[in-house]
Amino acid sequence: MVKAHPGGSKLEERNWNCWGANSKIFHSLVRDLRQEYEVNFINLLETQISGQRGQNIRNRIGLDSSFVVKATGHFGGIWCLWNSGTLKVDALENNRQMTLTAIYGSPQRLNRRSLWNTLRRLENYNTLPWCLLRDFNPILHDHEHRGGSIRNNPGACLEF
């Protein structure tokens, strides 16, 4: 588990289950993704590579800091990569397993309430470190909303 401290910079992160980082063009794909979306923190899951070969690939991606959970043979592997000039990242735990939950929160408030209830229920059953990859769709003000009808709903994000 890692904790990022943006320190004045906006945290732009991406998470990708890459199913292997050993292709000849992998580092170029990640570097292009990073540049196109101005990403300063990226998690790569199932890299399936460790050691010096993994280090060489990480160096070519263009982010200067990393936290790595080594792959076991050709299985697993997690690379958390970031720019030390824009982020301070602390490794809090290094377990072999964790719970990873990807979330897309509904823009409709009633459906989001159901999401919070589900997350609370899951929390009671989870004993592993838990990472939430998220787009909660929280909207505080109408100017943050694009498309559809304007909602005059002060406090729509209070549950968040």
Could you tell me the domains of the chain?
2-91 (3.60.10.10), 99-144 (no CATH)
Residue 55 has pLDDT above 70, yes or no: yes
Residue 129 has pLDDT above 60, yes or no: yes
| CA 138, 3, 131, 57 torsion-angle sign | positive
User: What average pLDDT does the segment 51-61 reach?
Assistant: 91
Mean predicted lDDT score pLDDT of the chain: 76
Q: What is the pLDDT of residue 52?
A: 92
